[in-house]
Structure 1
Amino acid sequence: MAMKEVTVTDIVYETPSIVSIYLALPDGTPIGHYVPGAHIDVEGPTAITRQYSLCGRPDGDDAYVVAVKREEASRGGSEALHTLKVGDTLKISEPRNLIGIEEEASHHILIAGGIGITPMHSMARYMDVRGISFELHYFASSEEEAAFLPILREKCPEKLHTHLGISREEQTAVLQEVVKNAPEGSHAYLCGPEGFMEKVTTILSTRFTDEEIHFENFHAAEIDESGNTAFVVELEGEEYDIPADRSIVEVLNENGAEIDTSCEEGICGTCIMSVLQGTPEHRDNVLTKGEREANETMAVCVSRTRDPKLVLDYF
């Protein structure tokens, strides 16, 4: 995916561990609008590329804003971004969405855990100024660690429900009550740590269908590759052997396929292709349960196949 150069124009500490980074075009021209809930790839100072939700005003065009939490177990991405200074340059991708607002929904339930507030912040601000029906449930360990809490309290206090420092049992009770009171026609959106999202998804599934649950997950799934086997992929009439130790996208791009990639961990959706024949073995964290069961698309950076052959096409 093509990357463009941007300049850091401002840095704001939202909490002791979360920093907002403002990114603008070097020549000062408008950077453009984006759809609420969108994210971008950011190539940091150490050349590591990670995905970050845009959390500023979707209809503003002076700068993109990403919020980055310094992670103790960081592989280098978040720690490096915390060393940035105003005037530094980075490379970013164009915005894209995994968690856009469902237009047919009559009500929207936003659920954020910790740093998962980033996409929910832009979605809440967008819906609030347009009179779209929503509620935001924000779970955080403490008020000090709750990024964007002051502005959310200022801009949409009646729609905001904060749940700070509560136990796991209390979290479950709150979420069950949210599900119980959800108006007909509601859709739910969630983002947060992996364990939190698993809990929320399980509780939501007691009432909501897979199509009514939307999520953003930037955590790569742990994959056991010990049982990998070789198989064949056909693309536009040509067949390619995929060895057990290589991915589909590696082999196809090596042979001139020009499939866009970004994370190469199954979390961004850039490399999704259409499946014309065969049964994928899905290993991504992008497709919904319904999309996986349909087997009409797959993320070719990590997923493989249960059959000897797959027939693919561009998505």
Structure 2
Amino acid sequence: MTGLVVARKEKLAEDVAGLTLRDPSGAPVPAWTPGAHIDLCLPGGLERQYSLCGDPADRSAWSIAVLCEPDSRGGSAFVHNGLSEGDVVRVRGPRNNFPLVPASRYLFVAGGIGITPIVPMVAEADARGADWRLCYGGRTRASMAFAGELTAKYGDRVTVLPQDEHGLLPLDTLLDSTAAVYCCGPEALIQAVEARCAGVHVERFTPKQDTGERTAFEVELANSGRTLHVPADRSILETVEAAGVPVLSSCREGTCGTCETEVLGGTPDHRDSLLTEAERASGETMMICVSRSCGPRLVLEL
């Protein structure tokens, strides 16, 4: 974890603030690739994940865009109202759970603040000489960060469709099964794209709804030989922490990947919003903040 200074704070769109973060000493910030995010560690124990949306080649600073959400649990409200230029914030990362895979054709679908990880992806796809398109929806044109600069730079490869002008994105006609499809935005948009397109690459800002039954089980910590009882009303992460075992974690809701842990025995009951179906089927790792066990016992690399 490191401390970075807010070198610039600006309004990018209606209810969207942009932050430029630099090392106070002028040192380069860590390298990153399109799709990466960082954790902002805010007062009161708040930790929130925000996608990097600048230029990966620019090591002088990181850029993020933060939507001020009406039902915010405190993170976005603090960024908008509590952070000023010159303030120092603690940052962890970057991590990339949403990498841009090699492909000859891409279709990017963004909704609202979901445009943030897509901006550097579009630039990378264009630099690779790939055939690509971006369809970007939002509540209103005024609320859609980066819309103007994207259309100015890339022309008709970018389609901007504000909901108040065009309605919901016409996914049935937009989606292309021959392209690598990347989607980020509200859960309703992600679910609609997933229902129409197999193998879509997604990143969620909010967790999937967990409706699964919660039962107790045991977890063996392979590195210490300890076995812990995980009650129905407590997560593996909470149980391990209560036993005094240090585990790195951040979002605690299965969206960031910080607590991903190797599974050495047993079958995980995956309840995260991050792993692909292939990764879930392999059973090699799990997010211990939300996922549970399909059987009476798990063995973890802890």
User: Is residue 199 of structure 2 the alignment partner of residue 199 of structure 1?
Assistant: no
Report the Cα offset of residue 9 of structure 1.
0.4
Deviation digits for residues 25-44 of structure 1 (CA, Å, limit 9, x no counterpart):
11111113211110011123
Corresponding position: 1:43 with 2:41: yes
CA distance in 1, matches of 2:266, 2:277: 18
So what's the TM-score if we normalise by structure 2? 0.91
Q: Does 1:250 align with 2:243?
A: no
The alignment status of 1:294 with 2:293, answered yes or no, reads no
Q: What residue in structure 2 maps to residue 86 of structure 1? A: 85
In structure 2, the partner of 1:228 is: 214
Range that drifts further, 214-223 or 89-98? 214-223
Instruction: Name whichever of 244-253 and 21-30 sits farther off.
Output: 244-253
Code of the residue aligned with 2:267 in structure 1: it is T
State the TM-score, normalizing by the size of structure 1.
Answer: 0.88
Distance 1:11 1:41 in 2: 17
Q: Secondary structure at the match of 1:55?
A: coil
For 2:273, the equivalent position in structure 1 comes to 285
| Aligned twin of 2:201 | 214
Q: Quote the Cα distance in structure 1 between the aligned partners of 2:96 and 2:70.
A: 27
SS of aligned partner of 1:262: coil
SS of residue in 1 equivalent to 2:9? strand
Residue 32 to residue 133, structure 1, CA distance change in 2 (3 Å): farther
Distance, in Å, in 2 between the alignment partners of 1:228 and 1:142 is: 40
Q: 1:159 is matched with which residue?
A: 157
Shift of residue 118 of structure 1? 0.3
For the 8 Å contact 1:45–1:90, the answer to whether it is kept is: no
Q: Unaligned 5+ residue runs, structure 1? A: none
Moved over 6 A (4+): none
SS at match of 1:60: coil
How many pairs align?
Answer: 297
Let me know the Cα RMSD of the aligned residues.
1.9
What percentage of residue pairs aligned between the two structures are identical? 38
Structure 1 distance, partners of 2:188, 2:258, is 24
**Shift of residue 127 of structure 1?**
2.3
| Match 2:227 to one of 239, 245, 258 | 239
Q: Which moved more, 1:108-117 or 1:147-156?
A: 147-156
Q: Deviations over 1:185-240 (max 9, x none)?
A: x21111001111111111113xxxx3xx1111120234458x53321112324422
Separation (CA, whole Å) in 2 of partners of 1:66 and 1:266:
21
1:105-162 per-residue CA deviation (whole Å, 9 max, x = no partner) reads 2212111001100000111122223423321111122221110012112222242122
Gapped regions of structure 2 (runs ≥ 5): none
Name the counterpart of 1:188: 181
* Structure 2 CA distance for partners of 1:146 and 1:44, relative to 1, 3 Å: same
Matched residue, 2:30: 32
